[in-house]
Structure 1
């Protein structure tokens, strides 16, 4: 995949301009031959398809789609944040990952979000310069393109530049997200100027252009990765973090980021985390994302049950309880592996999973949060000490539900599953003046008080739940899945896999099914309309209880590689305004 394409950049850009700015349409499911893409944005899916049609590979197309999502879905992702990319390399028959999670600035420490020895209010922490981690997205894209792509920034950013320049129509979802964040956005003058009209959410139907974001992308297209991490854009980021551009009378906590923090940022090329489930090899993100690890642990617990043979309600009850126990262990032990020696071998052991399974009742839900287990006993490594969990019972801070996921494949069989984010809806709420992108609030993914594995430290990456996943069967790609949703990412990916593998649902039904998310709490999160349903009533007989109010959970995207050689791309049919799935050539 490393060989450079001879595609002429100017020609590629011209083709993009003629296609991407056309009215965006698309269905949430498509089957065909060649490459395929599924995203939550019609423009982003079209950007990826255009790159594939111009000779680009899955990595090129993934970056093009991601950059376009930064324009059309700026409240969940963008170059002001970070993410995790899982790549299947068809020629090498291996899976690698690119960790470009944000890092804490060098001056950050465990008391970052404390005042007078006590944690500050979460919402106050979010809307601040102190919440901003060193962005990793551009560095991640650079590594992906240089190592595994066939095009350069000038080509893959062209679709996003076209959309930012020409504009797109604000839909009801976009308008609603601005409306939800009015209090945050009103605090910052460049954000208000871009996304508010007369102090209110920009109306549905408005043609929204973002020439400043186009300017940022053009700078990266011509100057490469250094255009972001050094020079005028880097200075603008640092100035914005350390002196947030607030409205008159507003005071927010300033950050301590330096130009050196940006210049020294590094992405990590990490081996994929491998697990197995009912004949599938599952590849996901290792730490500092807890997503791949926790999904694998929960599936290890579930593998001991014959879910297909059980009544559906009982099988779903066991899915909920497996999630509960897996989250107890996740919350206690997992964090940035460069700072914490997490007991991963024990955590992923099938024998450890069996001890957790033994505590689950087939008939009755646990009454509330359960204690963490002891994976150290299953390490089989004398160099790792047998230590008790660190404050295992502490409830982690709220984790934003707002991220985005996309998945792409190409005609050569390469696959990319990519989840990236700026954390909360609208991140910190701060748009970088002159460059049009929102900065993340990723530092709030750290625990606000210690001792705990996931407290802030200089250069540390906050624990994530992102779980882009690629599944192989008999050595070949079988499916890919991922979702946004903060900690509910883990349960969305887990539930989709169970729906598809155990319950035999077609992938579009597995994605569309009502989501149920248990994260080691007294109640389980569900979506609107679930309470009072026959499914909810059946699960209530097992003692399951539901969180109120219900909220939409995740916005998944998936690919399925069919036995006949076709690929099916699947996006949401209802959530987040519905997504768009495209294939290069439709199947018959």
Structure 2
């Protein structure tokens, strides 16, 4: 790859300034990019101690559980995509949360109607069996070189000593004061007199430090059995609420935790303009959906088109891929999804024929029929088009590489900002609300069922070129994760933007709706007006979309780590040996 990131020399000067937080860094050895400076530093610390990329990724993730607890932590789950340099192969670890055994398809139905989404979130009903700790265990045991005790040490230090709350952190708490005030353990940690802890506060979490020490000494069993498991079950089934507050409980059991298993799955694989792309398989819909859209776009000579036309085609390809996503994709242990058909280049050509290069589709469109494009000709359930199911947009993504050439792209989450809102008393971590990722009303492939993993949009992706790592990319953002990864790849590969510019560019998210979600300030821009001339329409609710992190492997042997340049309070990128 000949392209290098813009302003690398300037960025290098920033990275060498003590205490400076920079979103771009280039150098040799290992590299890491996360949304948190302390988490990125934890990864580099482990790499400097001789750990590999998997060890460093777990260390960074554990630290994010301290510094970014509203988007991730051991009370949730995720997907890890790993390139193993020695074996020259990609593996994936699915540690998505599962529905308790007592779950039925009417989990979120009350009096014959769908439960209010916010009510469902702040309840025990929404909590899936957490998978993060089991996922970390599998990653370290199979592909790491260090123990829990070693990789958790940096996060324990941060939790013990504390960190300074910034404006972004305080703002997130402020947005969730109502939810957090319902649960005394959460309020005690993140509120002061019922209000968000202000920016500049030193926040310590000794309970989480003790929990991490419990895992360091007792390993994975300390989470899924014993007192900690009992505390999780008690919290979920009988939520400890403030006086006068009542929220719905669940029917999770100790057996649900003891029986939880991570899954090693074959990655989703596709190609795009000379790159081999590897992503997460179902129950993540991210890889399949993003790769289907790229297959559609591959039929256009995007490099020869003006930017507005490229972005129009990107939006329409995303619209088509999302129509198929909603119709077919769910937990593969419960639904036989037509993934080979959806990823067929011939199927993409058929779908491409539906795009008007000059005019946007008028609204929600129907799913296609991928079955003729695979060996299985059966035609199972295919729901009619309907409004996109709400999906919380608050997750985190990190990426790490090491000097041996191993690469990790890791997205994990507790779902909504602050998950269910419930901190496990005495243990310092928030529980997820992941079960709200199920579709609430049948018939649908993604309805709640016992032991099922809700469909996810997480899209950790690793790209190879000529058999070697070229770049990694991923983001938080609920269903906008898919469009963030897709648009960043188009920006980088087709529009020729350096990766930092590809990430910082305004994001547009079309997910088979009448309007496209955009970020603040976009709707009145010249870029927006050009697209509006093709019939594209914008949502009235503008908000930041995603918080991506990426690595680029340069042809001279250096690696460039890239995080957000302006979103989410600016991200953090570091390398072991900065370029001079």
Q: What TM-score range do you get, normalising by the shorter chain?
A: over 0.9
> Does residue 1:373 correspond to 2:368, yes or no?
yes
Q: Summarize the alignment of residues 290-309 of structure 1 with structure 2, pairs less than 5 Å apart.
A: 290-309=285-304
Deviation at 1:24, TM superposition (A): 5.5
Structure 1 segments unaligned to the other structure (5+ residues): 1-22
> Does residue 1:194 correspond to 2:189, yes or no?
yes
Give SS of 1:471's match. strand
Q: Which residue of 2 aligns with 1:567?
A: 559
Q: Tell me how far apart the structure 1 counterparts of residues 465 and 82 of structure 2 sit (CA, whole Å).
A: 16
**CA displacement, residues 202-231 of structure 1 (integer Å, 9 cap, x when unaligned):** 111110000000011000000000000000
Q: Tell me how far apart the structure 1 counterparts of residues 250 and 337 of structure 2 sit (CA, whole Å).
A: 29
Q: Which residue of 1 aligns with 2:532?
A: 540
Q: Which residue of 2 aligns with 1:475?
A: 467
Give the conservation status (yes or no) of the 8 Å contact 1:24–1:42: no
Deviation at 1:199, TM superposition (A): 0.8
- Partner of residue 263 from structure 1, selected from 243, 258, 262: 258
Q: Which residue of 1 aligns with 2:13?
A: none
- Partner of residue 182 from structure 1, selected from 166, 177, 180: 177
TM-score, normalising length from structure 1?
0.95
Give SS of 1:55's match. coil
Q: Tell me how far apart the structure 1 counterparts of residues 159 and 110 of structure 2 sit (CA, whole Å).
A: 40
Deviation at 1:380, TM superposition (A): 2.2
Deviation at 1:84, TM superposition (A): 0.1
Give SS of 2:575's match. strand
Q: Tell me how far apart the structure 1 counterparts of residues 310 and 158 of structure 2 sit (CA, whole Å).
A: 45
Q: Tell me how far apart the structure 1 counterparts of residues 283 and 110 of structure 2 sit (CA, whole Å).
A: 27
**CA displacement, residues 516-553 of structure 1 (integer Å, 9 cap, x when unaligned):** 00000000000001011010011000000000120000
Give SS of 2:269's match. strand
Q: Which residue of 2 aligns with 1:63?
A: 58
Give the conservation status (yes or no) of the 8 Å contact 2:388–2:513: no
Q: Please tell me the root mean square deviation across aligned C-alpha atoms, in Å.
A: 0.8
- Partner of residue 379 from structure 2, selected from 366, 380, 386: 386
- Partner of residue 287 from structure 1, selected from 258, 282, 296: 282
Q: Tell me how far apart the structure 2 counterparts of residues 272 and 115 of structure 1 sit (CA, whole Å).
A: 38
> Does residue 1:581 correspond to 2:576, yes or no?
no
Give SS of 1:436's match. coil
Give SS of 2:444's match. coil
Give the conservation status (yes or no) of the 8 Å contact 1:294–1:490: yes
Give SS of 2:472's match. strand
Give the conservation status (yes or no) of the 8 Å contact 1:331–1:392: no
**CA displacement, residues 79-121 of structure 1 (integer Å, 9 cap, x when unaligned):** 0000000000000000000000000000001000000121110
**CA displacement, residues 422-448 of structure 1 (integer Å, 9 cap, x when unaligned):** 000000000000000000000000000
Give the conservation status (yes or no) of the 8 Å contact 1:288–1:461: yes
Q: Which residue of 1 aligns with 2:543?
A: 551
Q: Summarize the alignment of residues 37-52 of structure 1 with structure 2, pairs less than 5 Å apart.
A: 37-52=32-47
Give the conservation status (yes or no) of the 8 Å contact 2:207–2:427: yes
Q: Which residue of 2 aligns with 1:401?
A: 393
Q: Tell me how far apart the structure 1 counterparts of residues 313 and 328 of structure 2 sit (CA, whole Å).
A: 23
Q: Summarize the alignment of residues 217-296 of structure 1 with structure 2, pairs less than 5 Å apart.
A: 217-296=212-291
Q: Tell me how far apart the structure 2 counterparts of residues 547 and 123 of structure 1 sit (CA, whole Å).
A: 21
Give the conservation status (yes or no) of the 8 Å contact 1:408–1:415: yes
Structure 2 segments unaligned to the other structure (5+ residues): 1-17
Q: Tell me how far apart the structure 2 counterparts of residues 586 and 394 of structure 1 sit (CA, whole Å).
A: 50
TM-score, normalising length from structure 2?
0.96
**CA displacement, residues 209-263 of structure 1 (integer Å, 9 cap, x when unaligned):** 0000001100000000000000010000000000101011111110111000000
Give SS of 2:561's match. strand
- Partner of residue 208 from structure 2, selected from 209, 213, 217: 213
> Does residue 1:430 correspond to 2:425, yes or no?
no
Give SS of 1:440's match. coil
Deviation at 1:26, TM superposition (A): 2.6
**CA displacement, residues 244-290 of structure 1 (integer Å, 9 cap, x when unaligned):** 01011111110111000000000001111100000000000000000
Q: Tell me how far apart the structure 2 counterparts of residues 74 and 337 of structure 1 sit (CA, whole Å).
A: 29
Deviation at 1:452, TM superposition (A): 0.4
Give the conservation status (yes or no) of the 8 Å contact 2:500–2:563: yes
**CA displacement, residues 501-522 of structure 1 (integer Å, 9 cap, x when unaligned):** 0000000000000000000000
**CA displacement, residues 453-500 of structure 1 (integer Å, 9 cap, x when unaligned):** 000000000000000000000000000000000000000000000000
Give SS of 2:90's match. strand
Give the conservation status (yes or no) of the 8 Å contact 1:465–1:486: yes
Q: Tell me how far apart the structure 2 counterparts of residues 396 and 435 of structure 1 sit (CA, whole Å).
A: 36
